[in-house]
Amino acid sequence: MRKMLLAAGLAVAVAVGAAAQGQVYKMRDERVVAPVVIKEVKPSYTEGAMRRKVQGVVEMTTVVRENGKPDTIEIVRSLDPELDGQAIEALRQWEFKPGTLDGKPVNVSVNIEMTFTLRK
């Protein structure tokens, strides 16, 4: 019984935390103005990926919060486990002018692509 109550308490805490984060808008909502990148950090190539000559695109989705920080980063299209990790690490450092709805900052879900290309 005690374990069941503990699990129920955790579920409520998670739900309250999610609600505190606020609604997340999609870019397909015509009333939403997209976030704008103000600080972009490029991902690093790992030595292993360079040796394997891995090139391509990592596609991610993130929620740009009202404070302009990316949150809840997920890989939509993977390229390589090492480079996926580097892309996530770089995106965590980005900063945005937040998206808006009726002139007020809101949480907005956006897609981000990072391209990895080897130079000759």
Considering the domain boundaries, does residue 11 fall inside one? no
How many DSSP H helices and E strands does the chain contain?
Answer: 3, 9
| Percentage of the chain modeled with pLDDT above 90 | 77
Number of domains in the chain: 1
Considering the domain boundaries, does residue 2 fall inside one? no
Considering the domain boundaries, does residue 83 fall inside one? yes
d(CA 78, CA 52): 16
Considering the domain boundaries, does residue 13 fall inside one? no
Note down the domain range covering 40: 23-116
Q: Quickly tell me which residue has 């995106």 as its tokens.
A: 91
Residue 2 confidence (pLDDT) above 90? no
Considering only residues 13 and 61, tell me which one the structure prediction assigns the higher pLDDT: 61
Phi and psi at residue 7, to the nearest 5°: -65, -40
The predicted model scores a pTM of: 0.80
Considering the domain boundaries, does residue 3 fall inside one? no
What pLDDT is recorded for position 115? 97
What pLDDT is recorded for position 120? 76
